[in-house]
Amino acid sequence: MRRNAITFSRRHKIWLYGITLLAFLSGIAWAWLHYWMQRMGEFGDEANPAELWMLKTHGAAAMGMLVMLGTLLPLHVKFGWHARRNRGSGAAMLAFFGLLTITGYGLYYIGAEHLRAWTSWIHLGLGLVLPVFLGVHIWLGKKTSRISAAQAVRLLHKDKPS
């Protein structure tokens, strides 16, 4: 176990921030291509050919983010919650990622066009403010005091029956 189970290893940070950045940038690129880079075709506006690649990249990054979220739950979230550190912004981040997941799922599976349009705008809006929420969560986490290794071990064994 690391000295402080709430913090990430360097490798974990690189994966987490890298996948999050890839999802964010591919989502922004898709929106830019979709809303501002359509071209006039023989039958009206046509999608930019790069849109499909941005969607594929965004979907792959989203799957990676779900895996990374799964790596956060057993240590980072659990220890942070028991240590009463950053609970408000942590709960907000979990709700935020939950909404992104639900709206992303909806975009893939909702057939009704009017519902799909709403889901798309909600997903895009959430995605645009994600860096702000994540930055605030990180900043607040750095402000709180660090827990000791002994506290982390006690927290780990707190939920286990003796």
**Which segments within 29-115 are labelled E, that is strand?**
39-41, 44-46
Q: Which of left, alpha, beta for 52 (phi over 0: left; psi -120 to 50: alpha)?
A: alpha
pLDDT at residue 159 tops 80: no
Q: Which residues pair with 41 in a beta bridge?
A: 44
Sketch the domain layout of the chain as residue ranges. Answer: 10-78+88-158
What pLDDT digit, counting tens, does each position of 3-44 carry?
Answer: 566 788 899 999 999 999 999 999 999 999 999 887 777 787
What six digits make up the tokens of 5?
A: 């189970």
Q: Is the pTM of this model over 0.75?
A: yes
What six digits make up the tokens of 150?
A: 């002994």
Q: Which amino acid type is present at position 127?
A: G
Over its C-alpha atoms, the chain yields an Rg (Å, rounded) of: 19
What pLDDT digit, counting tens, does each position of 100-144 carry?
Answer: 999 999 998 988 888 999 999 999 999 999 999 999 999 998 887
What six digits make up the tokens of 53?
A: 């690649």
* DSSP calls for 40-63: EETTEEE--THHHHHHHHHHHHHH
